[in-house]
Structure 1
Amino acid sequence: MADLADSRVLAIASNLGVEQNTMKLPLEYLHAAGALIGIAAPELGPVHTVDPEDAEGQCFTADQTLEEVSEHDYDLLLVPGGLLNADLLRTNLFAQRIVNVFAAEHKPIAAAGHAPWLLVNSRLVNGKSLTSSPSLRADLENAGGSWRAEPVVICTALDWPLVTTRGPEEAGHFIKAIDTALAQQLNTSS
């Protein structure tokens, strides 16, 4: 575990339909490593997750709206999975702005499961290698990405780091890759 003290991580999600373990497990790990966590959603308040083993899932609290986010204040962006979550985020202009600013500032973006849909709508997939929920393969390839059937893909092409995972079953690998990407970001920005 890297020392991530005083690093700042932003998780963006819709207010419902978020895949629980692609949000909960990375945020728990990052918090334990010393990272400060912000959560943004279209509306302030509850962010409802789904979990196949727990119909209701865990609830998180958005401390800011997507519109209010100041991307410059964060070191890494986490976009958790969930089919409904990704479908709602990908058409949200504020979410698109956030991922575009992170990419333009060469900051790491970590996207799980269906979350790369947001990258497609934000025109950030072309030239990147990535993985996702297998159902997104055609969308990602049609957007110019190189889809890989791997648990986790780290791509630094185009001068910004992208960490992607197929879904919650790969959480351990995803967290390790996020830890590495954030530690590298902190080393280059200091």
Structure 2
Amino acid sequence: MKRILIIATDGFEQSELMEPKKLLEEAGAEVTVASLDDGEIKGWKDKNWGDSVKVDLTVDEVAEGDYDALLLPGGQMNPDILRMNDTVIDLIKQFDGANKPIAAICHAPWLLAEAGIIDGKTVTGWPSIRTDLKNAGGEVVDKTVTVDGNLITSRNPDDIPAFTSTLMSALKMGEKLAENGQRIPENA
């Protein structure tokens, strides 16, 4: 069973955490949500607060060695808060140093820039952060999903099926998702 860590805090883009989490769990993965504090974190949906998600562990309780991959949902507030936390940035660096898949969508590639791991890499993200990604040394493209080494990046909630499928493929989870999120057998 593959173990995936999601790091998020209040203001995460609701669909970018909940949809990949659901798809990964349905495919047999164990998904852990870590945040800065215990309790729950509240999502952002359609320009307003959305649903809450239970926090399984704080980032201080997480060890990179316990997981096969890291998933970073976007939303404007979520990564902006997280990139100011040294523990979060250190965890991202540890996953990168272990060459484990790091999947970041929307505004979450800000965290990759903050960790200093996109220099010379091809990445994508939400349009408003692309200059930041370029300034951090990334080669920025406008594609549904971009893979460079262990980094998987996508632009927005519309990219979630391809984003999640690409992470599953990187983890050799045995199935892929079509653009509409439907499962495609590995041998199809």
The reply to whether TM is greater than 0.5 is: yes
Structure 2 residue 29 is the aligned partner of structure 1 residue 35: yes
Q: Secondary structure at the match of 2:142?
A: coil
State which of 3, 7, 17 in structure 1 corresponds to 2:2.
Answer: 7
State which of 141, 145, 160 in structure 1 corresponds to 2:138.
Answer: 145
State which of 152, 158, 167 in structure 2 corresponds to 1:169.
Answer: 158
CA displacement at 1:56 relative to structure 2: 3.3
Q: Secondary structure at the match of 1:39?
A: strand
Paired residue type of 1:40: A
Paired residue type of 2:7: I
Q: Aligned ranges for residues 123-134 of structure 1 at < 5 Å?
A: 123-134=116-127
Contact 1:91 1:118 in 2 (8 A): no
Paired residue type of 1:8: R
TM-score (normalizing by structure 2): 0.89
Match of 2:51 in 1: 58
TM-score (normalizing by structure 1): 0.88
Higher relative contact order (Cα pairs below 8 Å, separated by 6+ residues): 1
Unaligned runs of 5+ in 2: 174-188
Match of 1:188 in 2: none
Number of residue pairs matched? 173
Match of 2:186 in 1: none
How far apart, in 1, do the equivalents of 2:64 and 2:12 lie?
21
Structure with the higher fraction of residues in strand conformation: 2
Contact 1:75 1:108 in 2 (8 A): yes
How far apart, in 2, do the equivalents of 1:119 and 1:56 lie?
25
Structure with the higher fraction of residues in helix conformation: 1
How far apart, in 2, do the equivalents of 1:56 and 1:125 lie?
31
Moved over 4 A (4+): none
How far apart, in 1, do the equivalents of 2:165 and 2:19 lie?
11
Q: Secondary structure at the match of 1:57?
A: strand
Among all aligned residue pairs of Structure 1 and Structure 2, give the percentage whose two residues are the same amino acid.
Answer: 38
